[in-house]
Amino acid sequence: GKGRVICCAARLPLRRIVGIDLDVSLCESARQNARRLRGLKTPIDIRREDAAVAEISDGTIYFMFNPFGEKTMSDFLSNIKRSLNANPREVTIVYCNPVLASLLDACNWLFRIHELRNLSGGKITLWRSCP
């Protein structure tokens, strides 16, 4: 998207934040928002890539706002699983407006840890990888 969540997270002392999107204009908007950010504590990298095949082997938190269709979501989850096989770690998936939550629930390597509503009533669901 436009990098709003990334910019909020970049105010925390983290190692690195990566935003991935296929849309050129959204990537540029995210880059502009990151450049204007005050209080930056973490480097931000915005990449124009397909999340289903992007290099994500060191990610620990994945944030999405219902970004994909069923096929791409399935491919993205397979990409995360491959990355876990190559680099075992605990990951958390934060999924806003989780239209395809059933795909995550069907993954035997994920478990649902929390569900909440945002201020406008939208659902936000979190999953964590199994230890």
Q: What is the pLDDT of residue 74?
A: 97
CA distance 90 to 1: 25
Q: What is the pLDDT of residue 94?
A: 95
Q: What is the pLDDT of residue 70?
A: 95
How buried is residue 92: exposed, middle or buried, by Cβ count under 10 Å (0-12/13-18/19+)?
middle
Q: What is the pLDDT of residue 67?
A: 83
- In sequence order, the β-bridge partners of residue 65 are 96
CA angle, 4 then 83 then 68, to 5°: 45
CA distance 121 to 104: 21
pTM: 0.89
List per-block mean pLDDT (blocks of 10 residues) for the chain, which spans 131 residues.
90 92 94 93 94 92 90 96 96 95 97 94 94 73
Q: What is the pLDDT of residue 82?
A: 96
